[in-house]
Amino acid sequence: MPEGHTIHRLARLHQRRFRNQQVAVSSPQGRFAEEADELDGQVFTKAEAWGKHLIHHYDSGAMVHVHLGLFGRFSDVKAPMPPPVGEVRMRIEGDTHGGDLRGPTACELFTEEDLDALVSRLGPDPLRADAEPERALRRISRSTRAVGALLMDQKVIAGIGNVYRAEVLFRAGVNPMREGKALGERDFNAIWDDLVDLMALGVRKGKIITIRPEDDHGPGGPRGRPRNYVYRRRGQPCRVCGNTILGEVMEGRNLFWCPSCQPD
DNA sequence: GCCTTATGTTCAC
DNA sequence: TGAACCTAAGGCT
């Protein structure tokens, strides 16, 4: 599930697996072969995440930029790794573990300038301690675009995807159609603080959980441990009020909300 | 087994 | 606005 939490979890895992180790890098599929040759045998120094972007650092100063897109995955298996199966864009193997990267939107070498350009076009990331949420607030409060669209825009907030977008708006009781300039500081702060909590939980658990055990809705509330309130629940009853969840496509992405819990 | 769908982004028109 | 990218899971038969 590649929203920001997945990438931050991978960055932490790769730090643990490969940091300060000489690693073997290859591209069984071939599309990253030249670059992999250059990296092979270098010392892996750091992994970090910016929104949905993963950066690997090597002691030569080389960097690899990975974006999973919709389909990408990074496996984690014990060394020695078995022969690659299928289309593996990049294989990295350290002392105890290795990983195969499949189906990414991006897997490329990066320069310092590339990284600077990437970071400067991203909004604040709720999973980073150095995030400046006021940048996002400024942008939202100047915009006539719908809040539902703004939250999906990586230039506004980095790392949110379709699930967190729908769920955080539900939890804040904000209708996704509301204009950015009408959101207000109070609702923005509630959304931001909630994202910080929910996405950190997502990193810990490795999945998106927006109905926490402590979110008690009384009798008739969540049963059988559902993980989300509205995402992919069009036509089903709201877990809080029982009204029918709505769904429609906004800017090419499926959007879900409860019209009575999120009236405006 | 086959079909649909998907947590995302970029580019062409 | 739509297509392309190109993988895997789930629902269906």
Q: Nearest nucleotide, C1' to the C-alpha of A253?
A: B8
Which pLDDT score, from 0 to 100, does residue A223 have? 44
User: What pLDDT, on the 0 to 100 scale, is given for residue A227?
Assistant: 84
The nucleotide lying nearest A234 (C-alpha to C1') is B5
By C-alpha to C1' distance, C1 is nearest to A252
Q: What is the pLDDT of residue A226?
A: 82
pLDDT of residue A220: 39
Q: Which residue has the tokens 């690693």?
A: A23
> Is A29:A92 a contact under the CB 8 Å cutoff?
no
- Protein CA at A146 to nucleotide C1' at C1, angstroms: 18
User: Looking at strand B, which nucleotides approach a protein CB closer than 7 A?
Assistant: 6-10
**CA A154, CA A162: separation in Å to the nearest integer?**
12
Mark the ranges of chain A whose per-residue pLDDT is less than 70.
1, 216-224
Q: What angle do CA A121, A126, A192 make, to 5 degrees?
A: 110
Residue A9 annotated as catalytic: no
Strands, E assignment, chain A: 21-22, 24-26, 43-50, 53-58, 63-67, 73-74, 77-78, 90-93, 97-102, 106-110, 246-250, 253-257
Catalytic position from the list A9, A17, A52, A128: A52
Tell me, what's the pLDDT at A215? 74
Catalytic-residue membership of A108: no
- Residue tagged active-site, from A2, A104, A124, A133: A2
